[in-house]
């Protein structure tokens, strides 16, 4: 037997080891979330039910037209690189309407309502995570197309002309 004393772990070494383990686990979890992305199955599952209501939005031809104009403003601001302008145009009346039109649309056309839901979630995610102006413009255009179809499906004139 050796007369050398056994080396004991110090508390600070143990704490650093635990901290590094927690950081490694966090990195793995974030990587999985990033790889799955906004078009993943969780947004599809989230769209099995209507979007949660936000504020009060009348479902009328005039409101569809106003929301179409708001989305056009969102698209224009994003194309100019103005995230603040795009956010100001989208969040509020337009965003609330996208949530509130889901239930009546779901009664008429469940598939179109799920497409609406996925588009809204993708745009919300882009505004809050990546914040790429050109992607926001593209997603807002996709949402505008779906809302124009929704207006017709619910018996209103198609907003924005043809």
Contact residues for 78 (Cβ-Cβ < 8 A; gap 6+): 85, 86, 133, 134, 136, 137, 140
pLDDT of 86: 97
How many percent of the chain have pLDDT more than 70?
A: 74
Residue 39, pLDDT score: 47
Question: Each residue of 3-34: pLDDT tens digit?
Answer: 666 666 566 776 776 766 667 666 755 555 55
Tell me the per-residue pLDDT of 31-75, one tens digit each, with 9 for 90 and over.
Answer: 555 555 544 445 558 999 999 999 999 999 999 999 999 999 999
- Polymer length of the chain: 162
Query: What phi, psi does 153 have (nearest 5°)?
Result: -60, -35
Distances (CA, A) of 110 to 115, 116, 146, 150: 9, 10, 13, 11
If phi > 0 it is left, if psi is from -120 to 50 it is alpha, else beta; for residue 53 that is beta
| Residue 134 pLDDT greater than 60, yes or no | yes
């Amino acid at each position: 037997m050796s007369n050398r004393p056994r080396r004991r772990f110090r508390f600070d070494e143990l704490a650093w080891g635990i901290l590094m383990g927690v950081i490694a686990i966090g990195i793995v979890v974030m990587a999985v979330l990033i790889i799955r992305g906004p078009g993943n199955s969780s947004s599809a599952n989230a769209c099995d039910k209507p979007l949660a209501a936000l504020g009060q939005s009348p479902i009328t031809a005039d409101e569809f037209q106003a929301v179409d104009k708001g989305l056009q403003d969102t698209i224009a601001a994003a194309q100019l690189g103005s995230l603040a302008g795009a956010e100001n145009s989208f969040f509020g009346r337009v965003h609330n309407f996208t949530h509130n039109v889901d239930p009546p649309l779901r009664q008429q056309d469940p598939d179109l309502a799920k497409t609406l839901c996925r588009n809204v979630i993708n745009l919300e995610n882009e505004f809050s995570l990546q914040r790429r102006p050109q992607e926001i413009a593209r997603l807002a255009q996709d949402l505008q197309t779906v809302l124009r179809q929704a207006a017709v499906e619910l018996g209103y004139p198609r907003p924005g002309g043809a």
